[in-house]
């Protein structure tokens, strides 16, 4: 959860679980999220994420997961069907 340099984490929003309350978009210190046209949170500036953990702690629907970049590739190999998974991470 420690703060990191920008561009070292991946942010995933599971759209099926997101209800679009807007807490992540409002309070994210790096403005990573925006509420998309379908009323769900979407990741627009993933490179700016400093992995502060605010969105994970405050998402009432457990819809956001922030991971370090390096182990993500391994995790995606084991669970390739996760919705919204980022390509090329």
Partner 1 sequence: MNGLTGNDVIHQYLRHNKKFPHVLCPGCGHGIVLGTLIRSIHALSIPKDDIVVVAGIGCSGRLAVYVDFNTVHTTHGRALTFATGIKMANPKLKVIALMGDGDALSIGGNHLIHAARRNIGVTALVLNNSIYGMTGGQSSPATPEGATTMTNPYGQLDKAFDTVELARGAGANYVARGTVFHVKKLEKIMIEALGRPGFSLVEAITPCHTQYGRKNKFKTPVDMYQWLKKSAIDVERYEELADDKREGRLPIGVFFRRDRNGYEERYYAMKEALTGKGAKGGRK
- Per-residue mark of binding to partner 1, 60-89 (x: CB under 8 A): xxxxxxxx----------------------
Q: Which residue, 47 or 82, is less far from partner 1 as judged by CB?
A: 82
48 binds partner 1 (CB under 8 A): no
16 binds partner 1 (CB under 8 A): yes
Please give the distance of CA 17 from its chain centroid, rounded to a whole number: 13
> What six digits make up the tokens of 43?
């990741």
18-37 residues in contact with partner 1 (CB under 8 A) are: 18-23, 26-27
| Least separation in angstroms between CB 56 and partner 1 | 4
Size of the site for partner 1 (CB under 8 A): 24
Query: ∠80-64-41 over CA atoms, to 5°?
Result: 105
SS3 letters for 10-49?
EEEECCCCCCCCCHHHHHCCCCCEEECCCCCEEECCHHHC
């Amino acid at each position: 959860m420690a703060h990191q340099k920008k561009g070292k984490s991946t942010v995933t929003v599971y759209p099926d679980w997101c209800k679009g309350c807007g807490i992540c978009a409002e309070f994210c210190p790096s403005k990573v999220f925006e509420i998309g046209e379908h009323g769900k949170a979407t990741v627009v500036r993933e490179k700016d994420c400093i992995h502060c953990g605010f969105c994970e702690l405050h998402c009432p629907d457990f819809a956001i997961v922030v991971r370090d970049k390096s182990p993500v590739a391994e995790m995606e190999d084991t669970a390739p069907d996760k919705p919204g998974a980022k390509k090329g991470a």
